[in-house]
Structure 1
């Protein structure tokens, strides 16, 4: 499956993009500026475009996932819908991805990301963590 992420430089979206790449999908994305997060994605073989442009959506794209800050008027969202590509908000994509999986959630005031990373390591599984770990 070919998946394009709009707002890929955000911490939540970048984690989801890495997970999908790790799961064997072809992943691309765009963001308004280059950061250390976008560079890490590029280092992992993900094509990242800086700036939003309809041309960023690859030919043969199956799904577009966007962060909460991206509006329906975004040029990439408009282009995806015009091409008949499914467009999902990050939370809805997570629901689809995790529907058939066993899910563990960590909550609290401090230490959630560290605890989640430790649990993922102990359980030898993959994890979607809304922070750098």
Structure 2
């Protein structure tokens, strides 16, 4: 056998204390097991009253559904409000860009003409003393 098989085999062999070859040792071993088991049962019994019951879970589930419905209502109302707000903003901006159409009763305005003075060429500007 290899060293690995020997080590694995030695882990599973029982020593003298586990077999209970001495009567006093077997009794103390059983007493320790009983004491450990009773400690575990006592700790579990202390935890049991704090655990949630089916009624507690159903209350929490109902509260979550109620909160979910409330959030959904507010989200829908917010989206509708934003949609209406942006539609109103679009209408306001688009109406401000519309020009007033001339009516038959109002006289037409003459076009505005801007005359730009002639400018001297760059060479003439450099030659002239300032």
Q: Which has the higher contact order (CA 8 A, sep 6+)?
A: 1
Whichever structure has more strand as a proportion of its residues is 1
* TM-score scaled by length of structure 1: 0.18
Whichever structure has more helix as a proportion of its residues is 2
- Compare CA radii of gyration and give the structure with the larger one: 2
